[in-house]
Amino acid sequence: MMGVPIPLTRALHSMIVACEILLARDELFSHQQDSLAHPMSDVIIPKSKHTIELLRTHHTKTGIFKKRPLEILDRCSHTLNQY
């Protein structure tokens, strides 16, 4: 649900899962293939990019993340920017 606050750990986990889904679709499936479990890639990508932007903004304001979560966000961002 867009606009509903979720815990930071869940948002970060969602980014990791989104990237894994996209990478799996590259290797195993088509990005255009219907999926019962996850949205289509063209839905996942912009939502995930937006969530990363929100997480980075929150970190800039609060300094909440340590080094490793920021590395993970960077890696997810890099993956998403390939699409």
Contact in structure between 76 and 49 (CB atoms under 8 Å): no
22-54 burial: b if 16+ Cβ within 10 Å, else e: beebeeeeeeeeeeeeeeebeebbeebbebbee
Q: What is the average per-residue pLDDT within 2-11?
A: 80
Domain-embedded: residue 1? no
Domain-embedded: residue 3? no
Could you give the number of structural domains in the chain?
1
pTM for this prediction: 0.81
Contact in structure between 55 and 12 (CB atoms under 8 Å): yes
Q: Which domain holds residue 60?
A: 8-80
Report the percentage of the chain scoring pLDDT > 70: 88
Q: What residues contact residue 22 under an 8 Å CB cut-off, 6+ apart?
A: 31, 41, 44, 45, 79, 80, 83
Domain-embedded: residue 2? no
More confident residue, 29 or 23: 23
